[in-house]
């Protein structure tokens, strides 16, 4: 899976961009969850995402005719931006 990752050098937080063209199969949803979990672990967060949750994010992104969504992970929590 190809993603874009930005690290905020001041806060240490992560901004992970997931292009929709990377989501073709069920395994891609699980891979995205694994990646989010890996970055969240660095902030001692537990995202508790399921494949259905990720599918909803992907579907909403498509509905809004966007080509990607981003997940911001910081000490304050996890936020999805479409």
Q: Where are the domains of the chain?
A: 4-81
Residue 82 has pLDDT above 90, yes or no: yes
Of the two residues 9 and 29, the one the predictor is more confident about is 29
First CA to last CA distance, the chain: 19
Q: What is the pLDDT of residue 14?
A: 96
Residue 11 has pLDDT above 90, yes or no: no
CA-wise closest residue to 18 among 73, 74, 77 = 73
**Dist CA 80 CA 35 (whole Å):** 14
Structure tokens at 10: 């001041």
Give residue 73's pLDDT band: very low, low, confident or very high (50, 70, 90): very high
CA-wise closest residue to 30 among 6, 71, 1 = 1
Write down the mean pLDDT value for the chain.
95
């Amino acid at each position: 899976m190809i993603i874009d990752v930005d690290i905020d050098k001041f806060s240490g937080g992560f901004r992970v961009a997931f292009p929709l063209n990377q989501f073709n199969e069920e395994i891609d949803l699980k891979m995205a969850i694994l990646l989010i979990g890996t970055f969240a672990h660095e902030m001692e967060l537990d995202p508790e995402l399921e494949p259905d949750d990720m599918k909803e994010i992907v579907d909403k992104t498509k509905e809004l005719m966007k080509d990607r969504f981003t997940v911001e992970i910081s000490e304050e929590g996890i936020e999805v931006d479409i």
